[in-house]
Structure 1
Amino acid sequence: MTDISRRELLTVSHVLDRATYPDIAEDPTNALLLNWTHHFAFDAALWTFDEAGRLWVNPDYQPDDEWMHGSLRARHGERVEALREAGVADDHLATRNESLAWWPPS
């Protein structure tokens, strides 16, 4: 997403939250490696991926700063190959996206 590669700046973000889905909490197909800012934005349902690996941004989210705008809003609808390579399960993404009030994207 952002080309940040320093381990101490990255965190595991769960596609389906640990509390609701404890049986897949440690499943690598339910995880994304993100920086903290994008992790919190993902958890806040400001953006997501679809099963084809395209990045979608909540239409109400209009980031004020250039970094979040460039890494999310400017890439709205773009296919992110790294997601496919990461092995995130399509069914986890589908379940997450069905819970988003703004899904499907426009």
Structure 2
Amino acid sequence: MHDAIIQIRADRGITEDEMRSLHNIIERYRGGSVYEICDARNGFDVYVSSVNTARHIASKILKVLGGSKKESTRYLRVENGRAVYRFTLRIKLPETASKAKYGF
């Protein structure tokens, strides 16, 4: 079960260097936190098991490539007397392509 979704979107096409940088950043957390990467319209989605890991990935992407972040929650259920939410972090890449290469 994933607790967070990172939605990476761009109004333009994502360049090859940006895509390589994104994949390098995500691969750092691939061990046990990142479940799945799915293509979506104008970008892709990353399903993550931990909200904190998703926030770390999002902040690293913003630091390297720029853009804006928006965070929202959705109520799922009550488990052991506590409410369980799914977090969605939307990262919108800037209008102009970043010059960053390889994510670092």
More strand by proportion, 1 or 2? 2
- TM-score relative to the length of structure 1: 0.25
Return the index of the structure with the highest Cα Rg.
2
Higher helix share: 1
TM-score, normalising length from structure 2?
0.26
| Larger RCO (CA within 8 A; separation ≥ 6) | 2
